[in-house]
Structures are given as structure tokens and as C-alpha cells.
Amino acid sequence: MEWFDTHAHLGYAELRAELPRYLELAAAAGVTRMIAVGTDLCSSQVCLDLCDRHSNLWASVGIHPNESAKAGADDWREICSLATHPKVVALGETGLDLYWKDAPLEVQQANFRRHLEHSIATGLPVIIHSRDCDAEILMALGEFASRTPLAGVMHSFTGSWETAEKCLELGLYISFAGMATYKNAENIRSVAARVPANRILVETDCPFLAPHPQRGQRPNHPAMVVHTGRCLAIARQESERSFAAATTDNAKQLFRLA
């Protein structure tokens, strides 16, 4: 059985410091592939360096909405140049966040748009973060989708089925993280149960929010994706084996690793 952790912040200090150990734990758990996700220029560069050293890691480079006001004038140009590296398979994470309010909405929107523009120009899929702003995200995505088909994923999805359905119609994949395993997350599991088998992904979003039964453990790390996979397989009334195979195939398809 093979799992694919499609969203791991392996460049963050608490994971990077002991990366060989976390990669061993991942291998022992059957987590054979991971996407190392950048959140600003520096972490994107670190993710890419890690990918150069480990054959089962690929990178996503970009500027997180909460970092968008801090990004320097040249950072985006540098991100675009990193994106030409053969192990970069996605742009992001980008998107919008109205929960933390770390950057004005207009700044976040401009940042999100340039990721979408670059995704269309390069064919690289985009990894989308949405917190407390599903309507704004759908509006921005709709503008782009009217011009050309979108490739990407709604990561760590916690929205409604209506939002999920609209994202699926736009051609996006939906990815679920540890939060979907929490006791009070019946609503997230019921959305996950309805996502078509060829459009669902799993991730840890580590080092944050470890899944049940390791909830509260810090750092979360890629091996833990198996808990989320197992929980969602039960919610979907399918075998763990078939769900692992489907989510791994979907990730290979989206990130063009087939």
C-alpha cells in the first residue's frame, strides 16, 4: 500500500532539522511520495534544495496569502525562476485568508492572481489555501476558469459540499488533511465521502494539526497521512487499499508524475 502526502511544509525548521528521521518514518508507513510546499521565497528555495537530495520529494513554490504583504518586490520574479526547475510540480501555496488578516485582501488577491496567471502560462497546477473566504476564492477562480481550464487543488479542505462541488466543476482536486479526522469534523468527512474517487487527495499540512489519534502532537509529519487516509476510507466505505491507490494515482495525475 502506498500513500502520497501532497502537502508537507518540510522546509520548516522543526521538520528540516530531523528530516532523515521523518523520511524514514514515512517510508516505514508506506508514504512513498511527498510534495514539499513553500510559503515564501526562502521556504520555496529550501523545499527545492530538499528535493534535489531526495528522489521521492517534489516541490511547490509560491507565496502564501499570509506572507503576501511581507514579500519583497523581486520575490515573485525569483519564484517564477525557481518554477522552471524540473522538480517543481506546482505553484503555491497561494489563495486567500480572511481569518488571520496578515495582509490586506487586495494584496492577497493580487498575489493569488499572479499565481493563477503563471499556472495558466506554465501548465503547473496551483495549490490553493482558503480560510474564511470561499466566496472570494470562487469568484477569483471563476474569472480564470472562464478563460481556460484550471489545474490545481483546494488544499486542507474544510468547506461545504456546495463549495466542493463548484471547485470540482472548475476542474480542481480536493485534498483533506488531519482536521478531517477530528471527532467534531463529521461535516468534513461527509464532504470527503462525496468527492469522486478520481478527484480526492490526502495530505498532512505538517508540521501543523496532526490527525487523530495523534492530535496535538507537534510536529505533525508525513507518516501521519495514513491516519487521515484510514479515517476517510472508512467514511467513504471503501478499503484502505483502494483509497490509498486512488489518492496516490490522483496525485501522480495532478502533479504529472506518472
Interface contacts to Zn ion, rule CB under 5 A: 205
Q: How far is the CB of 34 from Zn ion (least distance, A)?
A: 13
Q: How far is the CB of 96 from Zn ion (least distance, A)?
A: 14
Task: Between 109 and 175, name the residue whose CB sits nearer to Zn ion.
Answer: 175
Task: Between 134 and 205, name the residue whose CB sits nearer to Zn ion.
Answer: 205
Q: How far is the CB of 177 from Zn ion (least distance, A)?
A: 8
Closest CA to 233 of 58, 3, 14, 41: 3
Task: Between 50 and 236, name the residue whose CB sits nearer to Zn ion.
Answer: 50
CA–CA separation, 88 vs 82, rounded Å? Answer: 8
CB < 8 Å & 24+ apart, contacts of 67-76: 67/39, 67/40, 67/102, 67/103, 68/103, 68/107, 68/108, 68/110, 68/111, 69/102, 69/103, 69/104, 69/107, 70/40, 70/103, 71/40, 71/41, 71/111, 72/41, 75/40, 75/41, 76/114
The residue whose Cβ lies closest to Zn ion is 205
Q: How far is the CB of 80 from Zn ion (least distance, A)?
A: 20
Task: Between 71 and 236, name the residue whose CB sits nearer to Zn ion.
Answer: 71
Task: Between 67 and 205, name the residue whose CB sits nearer to Zn ion.
Answer: 205
Q: How far is the CB of 124 from Zn ion (least distance, A)?
A: 17
Give buried/exposed letters for 128-155 (b at 16+ CB in 10 A, else e).
Answer: bbbbebbebbbebbeebbeeeebbbbbb
